[in-house]
């Protein structure tokens, strides 16, 4: 039977930690076995969580790392089942944080991971030996489709490798999907005649959950070369569903908006390394935007390093591009390269838009700074 080992941090100085750990293990799985007739207990006990270890540690204050092993009683696992099993009831506990999920090989092999990953995205943008430069079409919200075309042109002439829709660019009359994608691609083609380069346009796909696959396929039918998904507004399972659909054959960029409600607390929720790192890669994200350690809303440097490791470490599945975002400007690019290496997408939205010479000049300055840092 496949296994998941869940690692928690229990931030309590508690003389009864062994009892608490046992309640965590049984409460998440086969708790009713305690009241069952003896003849039925053994069958239920086979699916009960088992405490593997309890280690005192002061990483998040005063507390313990508790590791519990859960048997997986289904052949094709899904993230809703996994997260309900390992953190469902515990999510109401104020002093328990889910740090990691360790999957047995037979289980993790059922998740194909990213279709493109780092190597595939590099091939699309034809850049091999430096971090990629990305900017966001921030000025498109509330403005006309003509303005969007001008902004796309400026990004292209600036030499940006990846141009992403703002994650808040939803379906509105001024830039609807059926106009935005062709106009964006037309700007890229127009600029390519002079620059010889074709940046990757990442199209934000939004709408009601059960319509999202059709929206994604509509965007691809219009020519969208990559998609952006606000994963935590929909759920990790939606990301996996899009990634594994053979008709959705473009890279998927996963945005971490809303994840803060699960990751920010030291004593509660789910760690960034798990939620924004390991699970995003398993679900098929080709690139992941997450709060950088350089800004006021960012995660700390150690946790950012763990996210990077989960996205990049050798595995059977493709690696995922880390995109530390927010708080990055021209002065922090050197730090990004030092902390993340070559395999990172450096995302400057506001700094490119605010650049004294405009977006085109800002894009050129971004490429130059990345090359020199």
Q: How far apart are CA 235 and CA 79, in angstroms?
A: 9
Residue 332 to residues 276, 277, 329: CA-CA distances in angstroms?
22, 22, 5
pLDDT tier for residue 33 given thresholds of 50, 70 and 90:
low
Q: What is the pLDDT of residue 75?
A: 53
Residue 99 DSSP SS3:
strand
Q: What is the pLDDT of residue 245?
A: 97
Residue 168 DSSP SS3:
coil
Could you give the strand order of the β-sheet that contains 200-204, starting from the edge strand earlier in sequence? 321-325, 287-291, 252-255, 226-230, 200-204, 162-165, 132-137, 345-347
Residue 310 DSSP SS3:
helix
Average pLDDT rounded to a whole number, residues 198-206 = 97
> Hey, where are the domains in the chain?
3-108, 117-372
What percentage of the chain has pLDDT greater than the value 70? 93
Least confident interval from 106-120, 161-175, 278-292, 302-316? 161-175
Q: How far apart are CA 220 and CA 241, in angstroms?
A: 16
pLDDT in tens, 279-331: 999 999 999 999 999 987 888 999 999 999 999 999 999 999 999 999 899 99
Between strands 321-325 and 96-103, the pairing is unpaired
Residue 120 DSSP SS3:
helix
Residue 335: which residues within 8 A CB-CB, separation 6 or more?
A: 294
Encoded tokens for 246: 């053979």
User: Could you tell me the sign of the dihedral formed by the alpha carbons of 96, 94, 238, 122, in that order?
Assistant: negative
What CATH number belongs to 117-372?
3.20.20.110
Q: How far apart are CA 182 and CA 60, in angstroms?
A: 49
Please give the helix or strand (H or E) that residue 70 lies within, else none.
Answer: strand 63-71
| pLDDT surpassing 60 at residue 54 | yes
CB neighbourhood size of 217 (10 A) = 16
Burial of 312 (0-12, 13-18, 19+ CB in 10 A): buried
Burial of 371 (0-12, 13-18, 19+ CB in 10 A): exposed
Domain 3-108 in CATH 3.30.70.150? The answer is yes
Q: What is the pLDDT of residue 304?
A: 96
pLDDT tier for residue 13 given thresholds of 50, 70 and 90:
confident
Same fold, 3-108 and 117-372: no
pTM: 0.94
Burial of 323 (0-12, 13-18, 19+ CB in 10 A): buried
Half-sphere exposure of 268 (CA within 13 A, CB side): 12
Q: What is the pLDDT of residue 321?
A: 98
pLDDT tier for residue 193 given thresholds of 50, 70 and 90:
very high
Q: What is the pLDDT of residue 47?
A: 74
In the chain, the N- to C-terminal Cα span, in Å, equals 50
Q: List the Cα angle 305/329/160 in 5-degree steps.
A: 95
Average pLDDT rounded to a whole number, residues 363-371 = 96
């Amino acid at each position: 039977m496949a296994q998941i080992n869940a690692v928690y941090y229990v931030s309590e100085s508690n003389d009864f930690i062994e009892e608490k750990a046992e309640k965590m293990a049984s409460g998440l799985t086969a708790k009713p076995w305690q009241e069952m007739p003896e003849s039925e207990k053994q069958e239920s006990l086979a699916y009960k969580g088992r405490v593997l270890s309890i280690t005192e540690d002061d990483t998040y204050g005063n507390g313990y790392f508790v590791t519990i092993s859960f048997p997986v009683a289904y052949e094709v696992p899904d993230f809703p089942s996994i997260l309900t099993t390992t953190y469902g009831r515990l999510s109401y506990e104020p002093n328990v944080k889910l740090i990691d999920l360790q999957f047995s090989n037979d289980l993790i092999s059922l998740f194909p991971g990213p279709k493109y990953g780092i190597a595939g995205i590099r091939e699309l943008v034809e850049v091999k030996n430096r971090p990629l430069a990305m900017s966001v079409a921030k000025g498109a919200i509330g403005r006309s489709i003509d303005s969007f075309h001008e902004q796309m042109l400026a990004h292209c002439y600036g030499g940006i490798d990846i141009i992403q829709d703002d994650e808040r660019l939803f379906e509105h009359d001024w830039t609807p999907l059926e106009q935005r994608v062709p106009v964006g691609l037309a700007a890229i083609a127009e600029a390519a005649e002079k620059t010889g380069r074709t940046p990757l346009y990442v199209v934000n796909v939004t709408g009601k959950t059960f319509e999202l696959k059709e929206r994604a396929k509509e965007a691809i039918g219009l020519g969208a070369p990559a998609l952006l998904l606000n994963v935590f507004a929909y759920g990790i399972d939606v990301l996996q569903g899009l990634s594994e659909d053979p008709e959705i054959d473009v890279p998927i960029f996963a945005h971490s908006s809303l994840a803060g409600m699960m990751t920010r607390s030291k004593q509660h929720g789910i760690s960034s390394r798990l939620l924004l790192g390991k699970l995003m890669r398993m679900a098929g994200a080709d690139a992941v935007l997450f709060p950088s350690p350089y800004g006021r809303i960012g995660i700390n440097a150690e946790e950012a390093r763990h996210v990077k490791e989960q996205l990049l470490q050798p595995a059977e599945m493709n690696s995922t591009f880390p995109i530390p975002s927010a708080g990055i400007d021209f002065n922090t690019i050197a730090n990004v390269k030092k902390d993340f290496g070559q395999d990172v997408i450096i995302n400057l939205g506001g700094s490119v838009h605010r650049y004294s010479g405009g977006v085109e000049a800002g894009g050129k300055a971004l490429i130059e700074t990345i090359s020199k840092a």
